Structure 1
Amino acid sequence: MSLLSGLLDHMPPTITGADKPTMANRTTDRPRLVLVERPAQLQASIYTNAANATREWRHARDQYISHVMACRSCYAPTARHCLAGAGLRGTYDRTPMESNQ
């Protein structure tokens, strides 16, 4: 007899599928996922990324990211910013990524 079997002797046997809820036991008032249509964005080129973005956009992005990484009051995932971080985020959001040609 092994040490493991000695430890498991006092446990009752499990019934397969006993812990799974049935369709009748599930609550029907849980939130449903809904597909939301977003408005079409202007697409000046096929590939929009930082490599072909405007110089002003890259500068605004770099200033914002540099501030958020160093500031102890800012926390970007929850959109919590200090006054300076909020201003930099606003500038970053308003700066166009592509130039209108």
Structure 2
Amino acid sequence: MSLLSGLLDHMPPTIAGDDKPAMAKRAPDRSRLVLAERQATVTAYTNAASATPEWRHARDQYISHVMACRACYAPTARHCPAGADLRATYDRRPMEPHQ
């Protein structure tokens, strides 16, 4: 015999559908908690997934160049002439369509 079965021996058996007490069995003077629905605020976040295709293309070209070019070092804004042109193109492209 397992330890768990020994602990549960004193509990009465449950009947199917007897999980919740009926409303009449509950104390009528007890206040009830009600979940309030939160108002969903719609905010538009600008990220690469919602950016314009032109911006993503310029970003991809710039990143591909910087990762391969030994003369470019993006953290200090040091770029070769080609990297500087790609960075300028990337900066000029609007990320959102309405800009």
- TM-score, length of structure 1 as denominator length: 0.54
Query: Alpha carbon RMSD of aligned pairs, Å?
Result: 1.4
Aligned match of 1:99: 97
Q: What is the match of residue 75 of structure 2? A: 77
In structure 2, C-alpha distance between the alignment counterparts of 1:50 and 1:100, rounded to whole Å: 15
Question: What residue in structure 1 maps to residue 46 of structure 2?
Answer: 48
**Aligned equivalents of 2:98 and 2:75: distance in 1?**
30
Displaced runs of 4 or more, over 6 A? none
Counterpart code for 2:65: H
**TM superposition shift of 1:70:** 0.1
What displacement does 1:89 show?
A: 0.1
Residue equivalent to 1:7: none
Paired residues in the alignment total 57
The structure number with the bigger radius of gyration is: 2
* 1:59 equivalent in structure 2: 57
CA distance in 2 between counterparts of 1:87 and 1:80 reads: 12
Cα deviation for residue 46 of structure 1 reads 1.9
Distance 1:55 1:71 in 2: 24
Where does structure 1 lack aligned partners over 5 or more consecutive residues? Answer: 1-44
* Equivalent residue letter for 1:61: R
By how many angstroms is 1:84 displaced? 0.1
Secondary structure at 2:85 match in 1: helix
